């Protein structure tokens, strides 16, 4: 039997890259998934892929930085599936600059997407989680729920040119540890996965300057080949991770085997931060 059968999982930024891999992994283990992306196309494609494999999924399109998004996101899953069992706060991007060249807008954009958005989503989920936990406790049942916040080795160790991103990801670790204490009595495991170098469209090798627009901001994507070689040389396993490998790390904190693990930060980085 699939380990997540009957569970409803909410995954932000799951139309592409790591988030997509997480959504497909959780669905493959039986979860009903609420898929999110900035655009309808990628979100609908993931929903269709899950349904084609025999799973259940719905899309909740929109920016996680929209103040109204969190309520709509949780409502989408409650309306479709009736519960909140797993939340993976994955959506995000980078907007790099050395601190003397970084604008207030750049700094605040990273706080908004990587820290304030997860806060709002978890706050929106608090009511349904508490209500369900009270009923289960009254029935003498112990039912565990899972929150997995996605951080980075930039948040645990810092990184040049990422004062904004590193600060937001470090703050997310603080939010993780605090909610682990607040929600433990409700049987919610709140943990954090910090990624190292994972190959995605944002981190692909590129010796030409490329940019994309994310949530209204134009950001540079791709990493020069010379830089990539240096990064790989610093990873004991000798290569970047794949989105599927990243998703496997997230799944560890969603599975029943993690029911007595909370408030932890697990690095999925091939040993990069050793």
Active site residues: 165
In terms of Cβ atoms closer than 10 Å to its own Cβ (0-12, 13-18, 19+), residue 82 is exposed
**Separation between Cα atoms, residue 23 and residue 197, nearest integer Å:** 20
Neighbours of 3 (CB within 10 A): 14
**Separation between Cα atoms, residue 149 and residue 178, nearest integer Å:** 12
Q: Which of 175, 173, 9, 164 has its CA nearest to residue 84?
A: 9
Query: What are the φ/ψ torsions at residue 70 (nearest 5 degrees)?
Result: -55, -45
How far from chain centre, in Å, is Cα 45? 19
Burial code (b: 16+ CB inside 10 Å, e: under 16) for 153-164 equals bbbbeebeebbb
**Separation between Cα atoms, residue 193 and residue 70, nearest integer Å:** 21
Q: Per DSSP, what are the bridge partners of residue 8? A: 32
End-to-end CA distance of the chain: 37
Q: Which of 263, 267, 269 has its CA nearest to residue 173?
A: 263
3-state secondary structure 170-220: HHHHHHHHHHHHHHHHHCEEEEEEEECCECCCCCCECCCCEEEEECCEEEE
């Amino acid at each position: 039997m699939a380990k997540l059968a009957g569970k409803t999982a909410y995954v932000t930024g799951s139309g592409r890259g790591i988030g997509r891999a997480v959504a497909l992994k959780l669905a493959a283990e039986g979860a009903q998934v609420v898929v999110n992306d900035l655009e309808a196309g990628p979100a609908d494609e993931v929903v269709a892929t899950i349904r084609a494999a025999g799973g259940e999924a719905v899309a909740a399109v929109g920016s996680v930085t929209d103040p109204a998004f969190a309520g709509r996101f949780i409502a989408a899953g409650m309306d479709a599936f009736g519960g909140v069992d797993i939340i993976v706060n994955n959506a995000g991007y980078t907007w790099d600059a050395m601190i003397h060249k970084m604008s207030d807008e750049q700094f605040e954009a990273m706080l908004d997407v990587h820290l304030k958005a997860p806060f709002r989503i978890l706050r929106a989920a608090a009511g349904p989680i508490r209500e369900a936990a009270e009923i289960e406790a009254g029935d003498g049942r112990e039912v565990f729920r899972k929150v997995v916040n996605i951080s980075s080795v930039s948040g645990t160790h810092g990184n040049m040119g990422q004062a904004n991103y590193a600060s937001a990801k470090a703050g997310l670790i603080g939010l993780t540890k605090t909610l682990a204490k607040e929600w433990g009595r409700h049987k919610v495991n709140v943990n954090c996965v910090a990624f190292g170098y994972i190959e995605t469209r944002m981190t692909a090798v590129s010796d030409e300057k490329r940019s994309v627009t994310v949530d209204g901001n134009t950001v540079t994507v791709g990493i020069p080949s010379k830089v990539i070689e240096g990064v790989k040389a610093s990873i004991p396993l000798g290569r970047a991770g794949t989105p599927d490998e990243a998703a496997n790390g997230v799944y560890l904190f969603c599975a029943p085997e993690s029911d007595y693990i909370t408030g932890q930060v697990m690095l999925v980085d091939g040993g990069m931060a050793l």
